[in-house]
Amino acid sequence: MRPYPSAIIEGIIQPEPGDFVCGARGAVVCESACEYRPRRPEESVLYGVVAGHLETFLARQRERGWVVPQFVERELRDSL
């Protein structure tokens, strides 16, 4: 995003494609160059951490006698 959103809103400079501008009159997105890009969660750091440590986490919780709610475990597994 460029550093002068108020100048874009006031029409002093033109927004570039993809600029997100937030000002007194609301938020504006210049959509002329926006395109759909599918997300790839399997490439994220969070995905790697959950995939690499979920079983260890659940086992340790059981050893300690702490209960991980079923919905939490289900959501974590579903995210993988």
- State whether the Cα torsion 5-21-29-41 is positive or negative: positive
What pLDDT, on a 0 to 100 scale, did the predictor assign at position 7? 47
Residue range 48-64, pLDDT digits in tens = 999 999 999 999 999 99
Residues 54 and 75 grouped into a single domain: yes
Residues 3, 26: one domain? yes
Looking at per-residue confidence, does 41 or 31 come out higher? 41
Residues 6+ apart with CB under 8 A from 79: 41, 47, 50
Residue-range definition of the domain harbouring residue 6: 1-36
- Do both 48 and 73 map to the same domain? yes
The DSSP 8-state label assigned to residue 14 in this structure reads: P
Q: Identify the CA nearest to 28 among candidates 40, 16, 36, 39.
A: 16
Residue 79 identity: S
Asked if 9 contacts 24 with a C-beta cutoff of 8 angstroms, the reply is: yes
61-75 residue pLDDT tens: 999 999 999 999 999
pTM metric for this prediction: 0.51
Shared-domain flag, residues 50 and 74? yes
Looking at the structure of the chain, the number of domains it has is 2
User: Above 90 in pLDDT, residue 26?
Assistant: no
